[in-house]
Amino acid sequence: MMQIIFREGSRSWSGTESRTPAGRRFGIVKHPGWQVITNPVTGQPMRVLPSAQQMQDRPIGDDKGAQIPVLPHMWEYIRKINDQRGYDYARSVGMLWINSKYSDTETPMATTTISGGNYFAGDVIENNHIRLLSFPYDIDTSLFSPQYHNWQQMPWMFWKCSGYDEAGNTYKVLDGVDCYLPRIARTELWLPLDKVQLFPVGPDYRFFGSNVYDGDSPLFTITNGVKKFHTDWRFTVNPVFK
């Protein structure tokens, strides 16, 4: 089986694409609090905002961590798991992920950001923060296979850019763009617990895109846009979707 490597602090953990890591806490990222922001063109309040939760390098505060270099081989892989619109959005400055201008000869620097509605796996809870599993930013992407290492197969290691409205509904960015990104870290990625909903301990969690299973038994699915909880297991954040 193809191996994949995850970051656990300064250590690495190896696994395969066919299983989620055992002994981890899983959950979903909340959207930020709502803000009234005026559209500079129309002068009207914006109905949908980009969803961006700041992650930290250590379990302190809620500021952004250090920017993350996005190296050429990582861009090559991001291109493989996106269509052209998604790839262009990922490389755009000031949209969500990249907020510092760069030239053709400079390495783009990503912010430590994740959109609400994304699932995650965490390995440590400390000081009211949870540390998210992530890929080292300089990982050898030849270890990856686009067939397996993508948001659909591993939504707890990849994230999808999203928008949200005042009611907490989740949207694709730019009225329909699917943009998928690996969760990469320069050092570590931590989120305050008040920015996430942790899933209960106990189920043998498996994921396929937005769908969540206990082993082979469905807990939550989205089919043709229809959301369904199959047991009394629940979460309240609207997840990103295919």
**180 in a structural domain:** yes
Say whether both 178 and 214 belong to one domain: no
Q: Which residue has the tokens 């920015």?
A: 195
Domain that residue 139 falls in: 44-198
Together in a domain, 67 and 178 = yes
Residue 189 lies inside a defined structural domain of this protein: yes
Q: Give the global pTM.
A: 0.91
Establish if 62 belongs to a structural domain.
yes
For the cut 60, the answer to whether the pLDDT of residue 15 exceeds it is no
Tokens of 128: 């009211």
Cβ contacts of residue 185 below 8 Å, gap of 6+?
Answer: 7, 68, 112, 134, 135, 136, 137
Identify whether residues 178 and 227 lie together within a single domain: no
- For the segment 45-81, what is each residue's pLDDT rounded down to a tens digit? 999 999 999 999 999 999 999 999 999 999 999 999 9
Looking at the structure, tell me whether residues 86 and 188 fall in a common domain.
yes
Say whether both 48 and 152 belong to one domain: yes
> Do 138 and 173 fall into the same domain?
yes
DSSP letter for each residue of 123-154: EEEETTEEEEPBEETT--GGG--TTTSSTTT-
Q: Provide the pLDDT for residue 13.
A: 45
Within a domain: residue 7? no
Shared domain check, 231 and 144: no
Instruction: Judge if 109 and 78 occupy the same domain.
Output: yes
Q: Is 207 exposed, middle or buried (0-12, 13-18, 19+ CB in 10 A)?
A: buried
| Residue 76 identity | E
Q: Classify residue 114: in a domain, yes or no.
A: yes
* Residue 179 domain-assigned (yes or no): yes
Asked if residue 230 and residue 186 are part of one domain, the reply reads no
pLDDT one-digit tens code per residue, 93-111: 999 999 999 999 999 999 9
Quickly state the pLDDT bin for 175 (edges 50, 70, 90). Answer: confident
| Residues 124 and 221 grouped into a single domain | no
Q: What is the pLDDT of residue 19?
A: 54
Main-chain dihedrals φ then ψ at residue 107, nearest 5 degrees:
-80, 120
For residues 150 and 226, state if they share a domain.
no
**Structural domain includes residue 19:** no
Number of domains in the chain: 2
135 and 66 in a single domain? The answer is yes
Cβ–Cβ < 8 Å for 70, 137: yes
Q: What is the pLDDT of residues 122-161, one digit of tens each?
A: 999 999 999 999 999 999 998 898 988 999 999 999 999 9
Q: Is residue 30 part of a domain?
A: no
